[in-house]
Amino acid sequence: MSHALSEQELVRREALQKLRAHGIEPFPAAEFKVTATADAVKGLFKEEGEPTQVTIAGRIMSVRVMGKASFAVLRDHTGDQQIYVARDEVSPGEDKTLYDEVWKHLLHLGDFIGVQGHVFRTRTGEITVHVKQLTVLSKALRPLPVVKTDEQGNVHDAFTDPEQRYRMRYVDLVVNHHVKETFLKRARVFDAMRNAFQQAGYIEVDTPVLQAIPGGAAARPFVTHHNALDVPFFLRIANELYLKRLIVGGFDGVFEFSRNFRNEGMDRTHNPEFTVMELYVAYKDYRWMMDFIEGVFKRVATAANGAPTAQFQGKAIDFGAPFKRITMCGSIQEKTGADVLNMDERALGELCKQHGIEVTAAMGKGKLIDELFSALVQPELIQPTFVTDFPVEMSPLCKKHREDPRLTERFELFVAGFEVANAYSELNDPIDQRERFEDQLKLQQRGDDEAMYIDQDFLRALEYGMPPTSGIGIGMDRLVMLLTDNPAIQEVLLFPQMRPEKFD
């Protein structure tokens, strides 16, 4: 059912019919040929000589009517441009008397128009387009929120409610112009990272979103059903195992910007649909990856902000300096005095309880250590910090540490108190990998619904031989949060998941 029309919507629909009665189609099909954008017009003004003719198009954002003339602001994808419309010089048709009817009464804020005219400077010094021909391009049937600023600088009627903004991002982008900059930066971040990998000689690939076995991470998957095959499928929680198959197949370096799905909670750093970049490089290890990715982050931050720095929630983040490196168990021991690596599950559970951490029967040793780290160490990691050498129980896809088999060759990169990247020296021993998967299966049986499944085909691939490999996954949404000073992941996703809206 359609919603009840407001008074303003009724006025616009009436204007729609009147435009057609005047022979003006409010939704024309023909191409409108634009010759200049708003940001380009400023550079086209000439102090002397014949003025430059331009054709621009955009959405009407404001109008000031002054008798027989008006000033208005058009907004296109590059910004705002002032136009000047005089009754005796322009109309949307041959009849000049239509100026008062159409311009003053039948066009509204939010409508798209195209104008042709010349560029001039007003007496107040503003570069403006003097309109000679006006074309109606699209009639907006709903009014935009009108954001006003009074003489004291106070903002009124701002479109700031997060739920409205996320549901109606199309309105958010129009009236909150700064929001668009977040997504332009997001595009620059992706481009800079992609270029860094391509220049290093690595190949961008695509892997399945629908997977028979959800692998590559410890997470709860979304389940769907494939009708033709009559079998359940899962939306991917990670693309790791497919990218490793490609390393087995002979690629030396592959990466993918992967849309992943995890059927878990939502908060300021988690959304059930998110983007991860995963990179795998043969004949490398996690120590090499730390050095390599440090340079990539410096490059990406510079592409986004013009320098390898970012301001995030009042904190200056420096991506240019060498990143600090600490070990996971060593950092917990600094906080608690306890050698968690040599403690059993019972002792770890008691230590967790001492620090106010809830413990359940499904939590194994790795989960308990992870909870201690998350509560005691992680919040203090503001500057980029590599946390290295995770216990083997926490890393079922990672190679055991060359110096201590109780540990793995793994690091996570933390910035501003949350994880941004996760990397390994990849486990390529198929016998060890099978044992790790079997340990995960035991955790499933204990009630851990995030434990990994056994992927028999991946094990078969490893048995054909995978070279020493280093891999990394980078949370692209969190990285964009950091580089654009947005505290919630929903601010850097154009259309975040929300509870379905009810319409009248």
Q: What is the pLDDT, as a whole number, of residue 501? A: 83
Within 10 A of 399 (CB to CB), how many other CB atoms are there?
23
- Domain 178-323+383-492: give its CATH code: 3.30.930.10
pLDDT of residue 1: 46
Can you give the pLDDT at residue 155? 57
What pLDDT shows up at residue 92?
Answer: 55
Cα 225 from Cα 380, distance rounded (Å): 43
Q: Is 238 exposed, middle or buried (0-12, 13-18, 19+ CB in 10 A)?
A: buried
What DSSP string runs through 304-319?
HHSSSEEEETTEEEES
Q: Which CATH architecture has domain 7-149?
A: Beta Barrel (2.40)
Structure tokens at 13: 């629909």
- Cα gap 414→319, rounded to integer Å: 12
Which pLDDT does position 62 carry in this prediction?
94
The span from the CA of 90 to the CA of 98, in Å, is 9
**C-alpha 65: how far from chain center:** 41
Closest CA to 237 of 200, 263, 266, 202: 263
Cα–Cα distance between 279 and 291 in angstroms, integer?
14
Question: Can you tell me the distance from the alpha carbon of 88 to that of 501, in angstroms, rounded to the nearest whole number?
Answer: 48
* Phi, psi (deg, nearest 5) at residue 364: -85, -175
Element (H, E) at 237: none
pTM listed for this prediction:
0.89
Three-class DSSP category at 234: strand
Q: What confidence score (pLDDT) does residue 89 get?
A: 78
Neighbours of 134 (CB within 10 A): 22
Q: Which helix (H) or strand (E) holds 236?
A: none
Give the chain's residues under pLDDT 70: 1-2, 91-98, 147-157, 448-451, 504
Can you give the pLDDT at residue 303? 97
Domains in the chain: boundaries: 7-149, 178-323+383-492
